[in-house]
Amino acid sequence: MNSDNILPVLKKNKEIELTVTGRKSGKPLPRPVWFVLRGTELLLLPVMGTDSQWYKNVLVNPQVKISASQHALNGNLRVITENRRIEEVIELFREKYGPSDIKKYYPKPNVAATLPLE
């Protein structure tokens, strides 16, 4: 996995495409998601928390692909279930996207996920 090419691209983007594998269909399921970067770590917040379909798929198969501006990267997404760490991710999302949008679009922020980029 080479993060050198994608890190500068991610720094310029507000949204990436996250592709997970369907837990029942086995098919790739791409969807646009918001994200934040913390160093070389990509952090995600499922919109519906543990009820989000992509989150449920990652529990079965953590292998994902992220894409932004013609750059792509494969890796294993790790879930974050510790409250203190979830709060940190929510705070980073608030800083990037604004508290009102996070409150509006993330009604159930009870879990997060991380993808190390190196």
List pLDDT tens digits, range 29-77: 999 999 999 999 999 999 999 999 999 999 999 999 999 999 999 999 9
Nearest alpha carbon to residue 102 among 86, 117, 85, 114: 86
Strand pairing of 15-21 and 63-68?
Answer: antiparallel
Q: If residue 89 lies in a helix (H) or strand (E), which one and from where to where? A: helix 83-97
Classify residue 48: in a domain, yes or no: yes
Boundaries of domain holding 85: 6-113
Q: Say how far apart CA 80 and CA 65 lie, in whole Å.
A: 18
% of the chain with per-residue pLDDT over 70? 97
What is the total count of domains within the chain?
Answer: 1
Look at residue 118 and tell me if it is in a domain: no
Res. 1 pLDDT band, cuts 50 70 90 = very low
Give me the CATH number covering residue 92: 2.30.110.10
The chain-wide mean pLDDT, for the chain, equals 94
**Per-residue model confidence as pLDDT tens digits over 53-66:** 999 999 999 999 99
Q: Per the domain annotation, does 29 fall within a domain?
A: yes
User: How much is the pTM?
Assistant: 0.93
Looking at the chain, the whole-number percentage of residues with pLDDT higher than 90 is 91
- Supply the pLDDT for residue 3: 56
Q: With CA atoms as reference, report the closest residue to 15 among 43, 38, 34.
A: 34
| Predicted confidence band of residue 5 (pLDDT cuts 50, 70, 90) | confident
